Amino acid sequence: MRLRRPATIYVQEGTFVPDRSSLDEVDSRFTKLCKQNPAVYDGRILHVLGVHRNGHGGANIHAMECAYRFYAVQTESYDLGIRPLGVKGITMFKTSYLWGKRSRHVHQYKQAWEYVPAGCVEPGKQPDDAILQELQEEVGLAVTGNPIQVGIVFDEHARTWELIYKLESSSGTVCKNDEYEEIQWISGDKLPSGRSPIAEIMLGYA
């Protein structure tokens, strides 16, 4: 869904707890996941209840606060219906775009190439602030001007709703972090192989 205006987020009161499984089962699966990957930790996310066009070139997003563990334990055969709200940026510097090859220990898209940055929207945080924070934390970059929302898409593989941003970097010097094995500026007419499905969708917004 393309956006001509920023989406409006309506956060309902309370905390969303899925009723498709017992809490004991969730806790058991999350404990096992943490043992397999010590980088995993519980936190707070926004679970998307619905997304609708608002008739003004934007969209309305209805969400509730939820524990990350309910999302983290989901698999193809164990789906609790949790759909987090995330942000993804198409970052440009001069004529090149910022791509990263995800590491082996990340939760989704292991060793796939994607646009950088990406992250979740935490309760109480604005999406614009979230994408700027992710850009700084992941690669140490700042932007010139304001981040521009250009779309919202559903990532069927990761089961997330993603607000897509265009970002103009103020520098071409990047720092590496543990989420990516490689980070590269790649010319717009060249694309890395092994791209994630959501990166394929985002090509239409670049």
Going by DSSP bridges, is the β-strand pair 96-102/113-115 parallel, antiparallel, or unpaired? antiparallel
Yes or no: say if 115 and 135 are a contact pair by the CB < 8 Å rule: no
pLDDT given at position 37:
86
List, in sequence order, the alpha helices (H) in 1-126: 23-36, 68-72
pLDDT, tens digit, 9 for 90 and up, residues 90-123 = 999 999 999 999 998 887 888 999 999 999 999 9
Average pLDDT score, the chain: 95
For residue 88, give both structure tokens.
């993804």
Q: 8-205: what CATH class?
A: alpha beta
- For residues 206 and 95, give the distance between their C-alpha atoms in angstroms, rounded to a whole number: 12
Location of structure tokens 């981040």: 147
pLDDT, tens digit, 9 for 90 and up, residues 133-182 = 999 999 999 999 999 999 999 999 999 999 999 999 999 999 988 889 99
pLDDT given at position 105:
82
Q: Say yes or no to pLDDT of 189 above 90.
A: no
List, in sequence order, the alpha helices (H) in 37-126: 68-72
Mean pLDDT, rounded, for 182-198: 94
Mean pLDDT, rounded, for 49-78: 96
What does the DSSP 8-state code read for residue 9? E
- For residues 125 and 142, give the distance between their C-alpha atoms in angstroms, rounded to a whole number: 18
- Which amino acid would we find at residue 49? L
- For residues 205 and 69, give the distance between their C-alpha atoms in angstroms, rounded to a whole number: 31
Q: Say yes or no to pLDDT of 55 above 90.
A: no
All structural domains of the chain with their residue ranges: 8-205
Yes or no: say if 86 and 34 are a contact pair by the CB < 8 Å rule: no
pLDDT, tens digit, 9 for 90 and up, residues 5-42 = 999 999 999 999 999 999 999 999 999 999 998 888 89
Give percent of the chain above pLDDT 70.
100
